[in-house]
Every structure is written in C-alpha cells, then in structure tokens.
Amino acid sequence: MQDREPPLFSFGIIADVQYADIDDGSNFKKTRKRYYRNSLKLLQTAIDAWNVEKVKPSFILQLGDIIDGFNKTHNASQSALDTVLRECSRGPPMHHVWGNHEFYNFSRDALLSSALNSKCHSGQLLDNHDFYAYHFSPAPKFRFVLIDSYDMGILGHGESSDKYQLSLKYMKNHNSNEDLNRPPAFAGPEFNGGFSQDQLQWLDEVLTKADKMQERVTIATHLPVHPLATEPQALAWNYPELLSLLQAHRSVVCYMAGHDHDGGYHQDPATGVHHLTLEGVIETPPDSQAYGTVYVYEDRMVVKGNGRMRDRELMYPEGLAG
Ligand code: ZN
C-alpha cells in the first residue's frame, strides 16, 4: 500500500519477541512452533529495516513479552534482556509495554528500574501511580497512551499485597460455575490480568483531555479487549469495562495489543475504534517476519505489514476531531 503524500509521521510496531537462548519449542497446546533464538534475528532485521526507511519512524511500540519466561528457569533473565535491549538501542526510541513474560522474569520493582521502563520518553516522571502507564504526543493532535494490562493480576504482585489478594478473589468469583451469565473467559486465565479502578479513572482523565484537545489517540498495551479481535483466552480480565470506557471518548482511534500470537483485527461498530492484535514474532518461521510500520495521515493510519503482518488502512471514525 503506497500513499501519494508524505505521512505526518510514522512509527514501528512489534510484539511478543519472547527471545531465549534455547532450542526451538512449541506453545502449551503443542500446536505451534516457537523459534526462541531466531526471534532475536527477526527483531534485528526489523530494526535494520526501520533504520533505513526513507523517513525514519519517530518511535517503536514494543507490545510486551520481549523475552521468554524460560529465561528464568535458565537463570538467564538479565542476560537475555541485555541482549534484546542492545538490539533495540540501535533503532528509533522504543516504548515498552509489559506482558506476562516480563513478570515471569522480573518483579514489578525490578522492571520499574530497568530499561523496560520507557516512561522517560514521556516527560511525565512526576506523574506517580502504582501501575505502569503513561502517554506522549509525538506530533500535534496525536497522542499515544500506554496502559498496564497487569495492574490487576497475580503476576508481578507480592502474595501479601492488596492487589494480589484482590486479584485472587476476583479470579475465584468470576470463574465460579454459578456465574452463568458471563462468558466463560470473562475472568481469564491466571497468565492474564486486568485494569484497576484507579487506572481506569486515570485513563478516563487522560482521554477526557484528549477529547477536548481534539486529539487522535492510540492505546497500546499487552492484552486485547475486543472479543472479535482475539481468542477468548487472551482477553484482559475486565475487558468490558475498558470497552465501555472507550465508548465514552471520541478521541480514541486505535487499540493495539499483543499476547495472541495469531494476531487479529476488528473495527468496533459502536465506536469506530480499530482493535489491532499484532502477530507474535516468537511463532513466526525464520523465513518470514512479524513487524510493521504505521504511516500517520490527517484522516487515517496505514499499516505496512511484513511477513505474517498484513497491510491495513485504518480510517479514523467519522465525525470526530478535526
Ligand atoms: Zn503475553
């Protein structure tokens, strides 16, 4: 897909690299191959390609699970992280989302003090809250909001913490057989998580300001929230709450997530929001790829995908800012 005018700016997208210096394996159901070493090569190739684009992407969104949980069992968490970050540092500034595999390897405190905390790119270091979320504006009228899919959840929180105990209770309540009115995956498995009321309120405030400023907002996180953009097991625990929050704000144009390695896409007819779930690098064969560059225009974003990631034209919902 080639466009006539130059874009206002562009950015790169990539998800679920899950690098580990171990032999190839498979997913839990043994239905898909995982290329643990080669995923680093695919990341390298993606960065090489971004570096030689005619207009270099302003930044990269890395949507989580950059190293695999197996590193923990091999005592290689730090070395694997150093390896991938060395590659990332060769390219445009990278915004990192945290996925379940980050929490298999590191505590929340360790992540906060690591290079995977990319909040420094946002200029909001004083905006303190106990979830990992921030926003930035790379160009007038455009804003990107990174949110924390594991703010609630049993990963990354100490067992004695309030959030861990609350999350345990939440899982028990929502997995109960008496809860017949909810879809079976409502609470989701324990390798997923969700959004606390504090974070939902924070996001509501950020989006309210963006509505007023007539900005176009893209949300980036690890877990998808639209049931038609992913498989049920990959959804964030309280995805209906996030979906109804999006419905209340006209500024949101796109919601990007990873976690479901098959990828997915759905435009929510209620909001016009594009829900894009990125294909995972880890389950991508060595002769293919799974990354993209997004070219941003006044009226749309154009995704130029590579390998398993397909091209898409994402028109902004009509009648909104502008
Ligand atoms: Zn994941």
Domain limits, the chain = 9-315
pTM of whole model > 0.85?
yes
Residues 6+ apart with CB under 8 A from 36: 18, 19, 20, 21, 22, 23, 24, 25, 68, 70, 282
Distance 250 CA to ligand 1 centre (A): 28
Q: What is the pLDDT of residues 157-193, one digit of tens each?
A: 888 888 888 888 887 777 654 444 444 444 456 778 9
Distance 16 CA to ligand 1 centre (A): 7
pLDDT of residue 51: 98
pLDDT of residue 185: 44
CB 66 within 8 A of CB 19: yes
Distance 151 CA to ligand 1 centre (A): 14
Mean pLDDT for 112-123 is 88
Distance 68 CA to ligand 1 centre (A): 9
Whether the predicted pLDDT of 305 surpasses 90: yes
Q: For the domain with range 9-315, which CATH number is right: 3.90.1150.150, 3.40.50.620, 3.60.21.10, 2.30.29.30?
A: 3.60.21.10
Joined together, the tokens standing for residue 100 give 């379940």
Whether the predicted pLDDT of 196 surpasses 50: yes
pLDDT of residue 23: 92
**Distance, CA of 219 to CA of 255 (rounded, Å):** 5
